[in-house]
Amino acid sequence: MKSPASKLPWMLLLAAILIGLAAGTWGAVAKIDYAWRWNRIPQYFFYHGETAVKIPFDGRVDTILPQSDKVKVGLLSETNQRVTVTVDKGLLKASKGDDLFEGDTVGFVRQWHMGPLMWGLWTTMWLSAASSIMALFIGLITGLCRISKNLTLRGLAVIYVEFIRGTPLLVQIFIAYFFIGTVFNLNRNVAGVGALAIFAGAYVAEIVRAGIQSIPRGQMEAARSLGMSVLQSMVHIILPQALKRILPPLAGQFISLIKDSSLVSVIAITDLTKSGREIITSTFATFEVWLTVAAMYLVVTSLLSQLVFYMERRFAVSD
Amino acid sequence: MIKADNVVKVFSGRGVTVRAVDGVSTEVVKGEVVVIIGPSGSGKSTFLRCINGLETFDDGHIFIDGVDLANRKTDMNKVRAEVGMVFQQFNLFPHKTVLENVTLAQQVVRKRSSAEAKTKARKLLTKVGIAEKEGEYPSRLSGGQQQRVAIARALAMDPKIMLFDEPTSALDPEMVGEVLDVMKQLAREGMTMCVVTHEMGFAREVADRVLFMDEGKMVEEGTPEHFFTDPTEDRTKLFLSQVL
């Protein structure tokens, strides 16, 4: 007879191991005399910066109207064109009657900006999202070709899958950018998304094939016996059932894709990884930045797996 | 309605060739109920599957309402829409509710409106006696209920012919009756039926004609009285002595 209390010692052991690991790491780092500077990191998420407000023409400062925390500045051009700009109080750099040339600074406004880490995260997310959607599409088509009766389609699918699975992603990215990208004059984002999509598509194809083949033959026969065409049977009967089964491996593939997208930093796409490298060159806070970057990847991937977990439960209604 | 002419189906694989259906000829007229019996592996299911094109055959002709299935130009989807099939393993669509199982093909193949398909489906579900389960998923139903839904699903296409491939073989014994009752009712209403079954009682009671197959060949055919009381072939006598 198992009692729920018997869990406690094991949880304590788990906690002890985790604390031991953390303490060990801490001790090892203390030995090499590394100065932690975590306070440098937040500014790379968001920072409060000053943006210059510039005069759009040659002209002069006509009116200055102070308000509670802003200053409204009326600008008059030589051709009597009038423009009003707003700057922050105390950051006004011109006075009434000043003659200014086009592009001169009238004053500054203070605003919140996204730092390189957030921009990098954004780039990583759209890169992964775009290549996931393309990979799903490529994988679906290739997976269907893979089980087709037509020898040509099957042959093409097999060659594609074998070629992609047999070569390293890093090499594929280099080929996509430096070879195909040069020949067809592609920009780096297209080459990057393309390489990731084609890479993931090969794995998705295998997942789709396995999913479709796992549906009992009788399902297709029942659909066909009702007069549905192969395509109708696939769309209404086989694929919905297969999708439910392939959701967990598919999610694993997309999580992999998010992580693999870090490799596109080698063709100078400023994703999360490359942002991290750039921050290190200006702060030398190597440990902090890489730990932060790792944590950010972890947040994105765990959110995705939670989402898939939720979808799995939704689909489970017919079980 | 159905005319089979010297149908041959050969399975070959791993160096072995099996003549699963070996020169079977027969004819089923409109409104007739034909029961095909025989030992397992005798090719009766394969023959049935040839009739609606789930298996292709290697030689001979099958005509459904005058349409030759051996003709490569024949639109098999059109033929199948006219020939309902009920499987041993039910093969309901597990991701669809009972009602959706019955409406789907009506909408996709017959292009009926949703309302029209639902009305038809509810009428048929009532007929097979499970109208109250229309919102359930197949996994919640017993085997007998699933098979009755499968019959309703096939009937929803208004087929001219119904094929039954051992419809009661996967059922618990106490559920066989409810499925056979539905089939008997169909037979009384004049549906053209081809039934592969091991239910000798059903064959005796409902069949207009009994076909006995063994090793891919049609061994004997005749009325149930002739077949069960006075079979001519030795093979038939041996089979009947074992099953009765």
ipTM of model: 0.91
Query: Looking at residue A57, what is its pLDDT?
Result: 86
pLDDT at A288 > cutoff 70: yes
Give B94→chain A minimum CA distance, Å.
Answer: 7
Residue B109, both tokens: 């193949």
Band (pLDDT 50/70/90 cuts) for residue B86 is very high
> B84 to chain A, minimum CA–CA distance in Å?
7
Cβ proximity of A47 and A115 under 8 Å: yes
Choose, out of B108, B112, B149, B160, the residue to mutate when testing the contact with A (most A CBs < 10 Å).
B108
Q: Quick one: which of A228, A230, A318 has its CA closest to B153?
A: A228
**Does A1 have pLDDT greater than 60?**
no
B210: nearest Cα among B30, B34, B46: B34
What pLDDT was estimated at residue A127? 94
A56 confidence band (pLDDT: 50, 70, 90) = confident
- The pLDDT value recorded for residue A54 is 87
B45 in contact with chain A, both atoms CB, cutoff 8 A:
no
Q: Is the pLDDT of residue A2 over 80?
A: no
Nearest residue of chain A to residue B164 (CA atoms): A225
d(CA A195, CA A174): 9
Task: Please report which confidence band the pLDDT of residue A122 belongs to, taking 50, 70 and 90 as the band edges.
Answer: very high
Residue A85, pLDDT above cutoff 90: no
Residues whose CB is less than 8 angstroms from the CB of residue A105 and which lie 6 or more positions away in sequence, other chains included = A52, A53, A54, A93, A94
Q: Which residue has the higher pLDDT, B155 or A81?
A: B155
- Mutate which of A225, A237, A319 to disrupt the B interface (most B C-beta within 10 Å)? A225
Q: How far apart are CA B10 and CA B191, in angstroms?
A: 31
CB contact under 8 A, A223 and B78: no
Is the Cβ of B140 closer than 8 Å to some Cβ of chain A?
no
Residue of A220, A226, A237 best to disrupt the B interface, most CBs of B under 10 A: A226
Contact list in B for residue A227 (CB cut-off 8 A) is: 77-78, 80-82, 105, 109, 157
Which backbone phi and psi does B81 adopt, to 5 degrees? -65, -25
Q: How far apart are CA B224 and CA B208, in angstroms?
A: 7
B105–A241 CB contact, under 8 Å: no
pLDDT given at position A173: 95
Asked if A237 reaches chain B (Cβ–Cβ under 8 Å), the answer is yes
Edge to edge, the sheet with strand B16-28 lists: B16-28, B2-13, B59-64, B67-68
Q: Which one of B94, B95, B105 has the shortest CB-CB distance to A226?
A: B105
Instruction: Note the pTM of the prediction, 2 decimals.
Output: 0.80
* Structure-block tokens of residue A143: 């997976």
pLDDT of B214 higher than 80: yes
Express each pLDDT in B112-122 by its tens digit. 999 999 999 99
Place of tokens 């393993």: B89
Compare CB distances from B139 to A218, A225, A318 and report the shortest one's residue: A318
For A235, nearest residue in chain B (alpha carbons): B108
User: What does the alpha-carbon distance between residue A172 and residue A195 come to, in Å, rounded to a whole number?
Assistant: 6
**Cα–Cα distances in Å, from A238 out to A58, A125, A154, B83, B195?**
69, 31, 19, 22, 27
Of chain B residues 89-118, which have a CB less than 8 A from chain A?
89, 91-96, 104-105, 108-109
Q: Which residues of A touch B83 (CB under 8 A)?
A: 225
